[in-house]
């Protein structure tokens, strides 16, 4: 049979999973048996209870020998916990940038297309290339705005501005694009941009950001993936990204190689420098690294002298 990932698996592939579930004390004993220094067992049990052994184990790997899973001499529970906390704070910092970038991208798309094609431009399938699944776009918009295929309204799902539209207007049945923009996820906007028929439309959307339309298509795809990783609390530290940003010639130095977080952070910085330079997002990134100075940044793809690169504009 073929799995969702497209890998052929024979009928009797693999073995049955028969590992037992360990209670918290047994989890703690397992960590101790592998050489982890745990001077405050009760504190460690607290974090195992509210974070979970399996989640923390992903951060243990950096401190363990292969294939024995024995911890390197002197590794403490606090070192593992600090790595976990650092990664969580990194995701929060990324999401802060993502909120601004997502709002800016959908505003530029909506403004550009609404001015040219009218407030309900998304209903016009002719502005998209033929292979775009326009019907699926409309289905998603109906779902997110609380309108059923039969014309019924799910008022419990609706924001106040959507309720007002449906109560006051009967045509068009769906609200204008700037209302739709408030409820549709970034992945939808990424596809809308990708499948626009006219390059001129894409170029006009990209112009405020100073990004070529081919690069923008790639970067929006990457941003969607990055956002989803953060939304699902996935690890950013020491990750090799499977969806990578296309290298823009102007920023080749910071986007090559592009499979580590360093390239993702550079992409965020390019956007943030245009959208919200006053936030000095890159300075907050540097401050986070300083706060957790024992964590090796090369696992994120950052060179040692990254702060001195004029690209980042780090202020002292």
CA 258 → CA 47, 95, 123, 264, 312, distances in Å?
Answer: 34, 20, 37, 8, 16
Q: What is the mean pLDDT of residues 149-176?
A: 82
Say if CB 305 and CB 312 are below 8 A apart: no
Q: What is the mean pLDDT of residues 158-172?
A: 89
Predicted confidence (pLDDT) at residue 35 exceeds the cutoff of 50: yes
pTM: 0.90
Binned at pLDDT 50, 70 and 90, residue 110 comes out as very high
pLDDT of residue 4: 46
**Residue 218, token pair as written in the block:** 């790639």
CA atoms within 13 A on the CB side of 314: 16
Strand partners, 153: 147
Q: Closest Cα to residue 49, out of 75, 76, 28, 20?
A: 28
Q: pLDDT per residue over 292-316, tens digit each?
A: 999 999 999 999 999 999 999 998 6
Q: How many CB atoms lie within 10 A of CB 279?
A: 14
Predicted confidence (pLDDT) at residue 2 exceeds the cutoff of 50: no
pLDDT of residue 1: 42
Higher pLDDT, 164 or 265: 265
Q: What is the mean pLDDT of residues 104-126?
A: 98
pLDDT of residue 316: 67
Binned at pLDDT 50, 70 and 90, residue 175 comes out as very high
Q: What is the mean pLDDT of residues 149-177?
A: 82
Predicted confidence (pLDDT) at residue 117 exceeds the cutoff of 70: yes
In the block, residue with structure tokens 């601004």: 100
Q: For residues 236 and 90, what is the distance between their CA atoms, to the nearest angstrom?
A: 8
Looking at every residue in the chain, the average pLDDT score rounds to: 92
Say if CB 82 and CB 62 are below 8 A apart: no
Predicted confidence (pLDDT) at residue 233 exceeds the cutoff of 90: yes
């Amino acid at each position: 049979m073929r799995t969702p990932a497209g890998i052929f698996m024979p009928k009797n592939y693999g073995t049955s999973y028969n590992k037992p579930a360990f209670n918290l004390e047994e989890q703690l004993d397992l960590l101790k048996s592998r050489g982890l220094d745990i001077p405050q067992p009760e504190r460690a049990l607290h974090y195992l209870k509210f974070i979970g052994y399996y989640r923390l184990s992903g951060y243990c790997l950096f401190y363990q020998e292969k294939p024995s899973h024995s911890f390197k001499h002197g590794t403490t529970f606090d070192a593992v916990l600090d790595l976990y906390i650092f990664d969580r704070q990194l995701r929060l910092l990324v999401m802060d940038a993502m909120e601004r970038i997502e709002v800016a991208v959908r505003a530029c798309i909506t403004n550009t297309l609404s001015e040219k094609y009218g407030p309900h431009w998304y209903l016009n399938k002719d502005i998209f290339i033929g292979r775009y699944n326009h019907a699926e776009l409309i289905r998603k918009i109906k779902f997110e705005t609380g309108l059923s295929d039969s014309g019924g309204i799910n008022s419990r799902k609706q924001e106040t501005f959507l309720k007002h539209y449906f109560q006051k207007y009967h045509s068009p049945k769906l609200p204008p694009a700037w209302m739709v923009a408030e409820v549709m996820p970034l992945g939808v906007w990424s596809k809308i941009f990708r499948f626009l028929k006219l390059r001129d439309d894409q170029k006009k959307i990209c112009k405020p950001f100073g990004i070529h339309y081919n690069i923008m298509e790639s970067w929006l795809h990457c941003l969607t993936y990055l956002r989803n990783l953060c939304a699902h609390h996935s690890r950013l530290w020491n990750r090799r990204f499977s969806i990578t940003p296309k290298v823009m010639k102007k920023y080749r130095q910071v986007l090559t190689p592009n499979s580590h977080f360093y390239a993702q952070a550079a992409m965020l910085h390019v956007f943030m420098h245009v959208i919200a330079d006053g936030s000095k997002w890159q300075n907050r990134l540097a401050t986070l690294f300083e706060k957790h100075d024992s964590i090796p940044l090369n696992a994120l793809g950052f060179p040692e002298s990254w702060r001195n690169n004029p690209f980042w504009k780090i202020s002292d």
